[in-house]
């Protein structure tokens, strides 16, 4: 597997990573001076429900008044990508939306499978949300892969590890599925777990479980694709302090989401939250053992970037085959609102997947 380093793609990716790291450094130096003033901040609402604009109903359910729009799947053969929903576990309300590039139906070779977990701080959004529907639709088309976007249970009704349980159940379901797209068109030796933001955290934690089980019930995973993964810790990093009031993931919002998604009573160095603290580094060795490749992407305008860089460093130290792709500027979740940024990301993912084939 080490020979992969010599692939031109990889040289390119590595060079990019180094170049971006360099830009990132310059970016930080420039910005730490100007942004420091802003970090003496608006106080957070002490009630995390109010902070996130959630309503806790008397019957124990939670209402999310700001719910963004959903999009239905469509098997319309005139579309570039066909999509459909399949139930995973009715009693939990979990399901997957599958995306199939139209052209692939007539292709002889089977396609890679990207199992995707959406973002939303473990609390918001759905595999049916329009932003993720469009993201996965375009990703299936550009990367030329089948995408399975997983609907998992949300916090605070279902705190972690419920989402990880659902993710692993989704993998078992995929392996056993008799669905004709999965059965006939997917190469089960070419499977990637991917997620953005909280979904990146889920891909990581479910990946560790899958690596530990590594049994025949789960498809053979080749790698993890962690797009701006959502992690935290008890101590704030430099980028979190510098970008404390950042409008997309400022610390009031960030803190409230962890408060309502982690198991009650644990702190933020818990293994679900901080992969570099306590048991984290030892758990990570599993990825080295199973030999997966990992792609971590991030950007300089995301308060989480220092943690993501730290994670890449720790993985390298542990001998995990990891590619860090960091760009200057931008903000957390930019690929969900900027189609051009999403397109660039699909290119990075396609390069990553094809270099392993
Ligand atoms: C719980 O209360 C909310 C708000 O009053 C309501 O919309 C919902 O249907 C109720 N759910 C159940 C299961 O009773
Ligand atoms: C669905 O989830 C329930 C609750 O966790 C579990 O008991 C059951 O075995 C699951 N069903 C299937 C078909 O996997």
pLDDT given at position 2? 35
pLDDT given at position 107? 78
Rounded mean pLDDT, 148-157:
98
pLDDT given at position 59? 92
- Check whether 23 has a pLDDT greater than 50: no
Domain limits at 53?
2-355
To the query of whether residue 302 is one of the catalytic residues in this protein, the response is yes
pLDDT given at position 214? 66
Q: Would you place residue 215 in the very low, low, confident or very high pLDDT band (cuts 50, 70, 90)?
A: low
Percent of the chain scoring above 90 in pLDDT:
81
- If you average pLDDT over every residue of the chain, what do you get? 89
Dist. CA 332–CA 190, nearest whole Å: 28
Dist. CA 172–CA 143, nearest whole Å: 24
pLDDT given at position 13? 47
Give the residue whose CA is nearest to atom 3 of ligand 1. 57
57 CA distance to ligand 1 centroid (A)? 7
Percent of the chain scoring above 70 in pLDDT:
88
The two beta strands, 293-299 and 321-327, are parallel
Q: Which ligand does the CA of 169 lie closest to? A: 2
- Residue 318: closest CA among 269, 295, 271, 284: 284
CA 262 to chain centre: 17
To the query of whether residue 70 is one of the catalytic residues in this protein, the response is no
Dist. CA 244–CA 207, nearest whole Å: 30
- Check whether 308 has a pLDDT greater than 60: yes
56 CA distance to ligand 1 centroid (A)? 10
pLDDT, tens digit, 9 for 90 and up, residues 249-266:
989 999 999 999 999 999
Eight-state DSSP code of residue 129: B
- Check whether 227 has a pLDDT greater than 80: yes
Instruction: Please name every residue paired with 89 in a beta bridge, in sequence order, or none if there are none.
Output: 94
Q: Would you place residue 216 in the very low, low, confident or very high pLDDT band (cuts 50, 70, 90)?
A: low
Pocket mutation for ligand 1, best pick of 54, 59, 60, 65 (most atoms within 8 Å of C-beta): 59
Taking phi first (over 0 means left), then psi (-120 to 50 degrees means alpha), and beta for anything else, what does residue 330 get?
left
pLDDT, tens digit, 9 for 90 and up, residues 79-122:
999 999 999 999 999 999 999 999 888 878 899 999 999 999 99
pLDDT given at position 37? 41
| Model confidence, pTM | 0.90
Domain count, the chain: 1
Q: Which atom of ligand 1 is nearest to the CA of 61?
A: 1
Of the ranges 9-13, 42-46, 295-299, which one carries the lowest mean pLDDT score?
9-13
Would you say the CB of residue 91 lies under 6 angstroms from ligand 2?
yes
pLDDT given at position 15? 45
- Check whether 12 has a pLDDT greater than 80: no
pLDDT given at position 190? 95
Instruction: Please name every residue paired with 113 in a beta bridge, in sequence order, or none if there are none.
Output: 146, 191
pLDDT given at position 217? 73
Buried b (16+ CB within 10 A) or exposed e, 78-91: eeebbbeebebeee
- Check whether 178 has a pLDDT greater than 80: yes
More confident call, 313 vs 219: 313
47 CA distance to ligand 1 centroid (A)? 21
- Check whether 27 has a pLDDT greater than 70: no
Cα–Cα distances in Å, from 266 out to 185, 229, 262, 291, 313? 43, 20, 7, 31, 26
To the query of whether residue 197 is one of the catalytic residues in this protein, the response is yes
Rounded mean pLDDT, 72-84:
96
pLDDT given at position 30? 43
Q: What is the CATH number of the domain that holds 339?
A: 3.40.50.1820
């Amino acid at each position: 597997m080490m020979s992969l380093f010599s692939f031109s793609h990889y040289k390119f990716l590595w060079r990019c990573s180094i170049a971006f790291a360099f830009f990132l450094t310059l970016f930080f130096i420039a910005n730490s001076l100007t942004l420091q003033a802003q970090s003496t901040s608006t106080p957070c609402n002490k009630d995390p429900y109010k902070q996130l604009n959630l309503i806790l109903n008397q019957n124990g359910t939670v209402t999310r008044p700001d719910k963004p729009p959903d999009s239905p799947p469509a098997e319309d053969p005139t579309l570039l990508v066909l999509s459909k929903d399949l139930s995973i576990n009715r009693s939990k309300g979990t399901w997957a939306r599958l995306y199939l590039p139209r052209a692939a139906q007539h292709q002889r070779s089977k396609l890679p499978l990207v199992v995707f977990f959406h973002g939303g701080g473990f609390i918001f959004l759905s595999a049916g949300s329009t932003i993720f529907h469009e993201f996965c639709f375009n990703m299936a088309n550009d990367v030329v892969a089948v995408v399975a976007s997983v609907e998992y249970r949300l916090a605070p009704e279902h705190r972690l590890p419920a989402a990880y349980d659902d993710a692993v159940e989704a993998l078992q379901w995929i392996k056993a599925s008799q669905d004709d797209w999965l059965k006939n068109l997917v190469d089960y030796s070419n499977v990637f777990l991917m997620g953005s933001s909280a979904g990146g955290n889920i891909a990581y934690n479910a990946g560790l479980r899958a690596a530990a089980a590594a049994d025949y019930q789960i498809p053979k995973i080749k790698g993890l694709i962690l797009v701006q993964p959502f992690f935290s810790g008890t101590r704030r990093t430099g980028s979190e302090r510098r970008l404390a009031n950042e409008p997309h993931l400022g610390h009031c919002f960030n803190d409230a989401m962890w408060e309502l998604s982690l198991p009650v009573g644990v702190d933020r160095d818990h293994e679900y939250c901080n992969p570099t603290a306590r048991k984290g580094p030892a758990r990570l060795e599993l990825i080295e053992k199973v030999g997966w490749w990992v792609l971590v992407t991030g950007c300089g305008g995301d308060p989480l970037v220092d943690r993501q860089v730290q994670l890449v460093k720790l993985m390298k130290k542990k001998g995990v085959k990891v590619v860090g792709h960091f760009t200057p500027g931008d903000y957390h979740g930019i690929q969900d609102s900027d189609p051009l940024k999403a397109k660039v990301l699909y290119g990075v993912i396609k390069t990553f997947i094809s270099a392993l084939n």
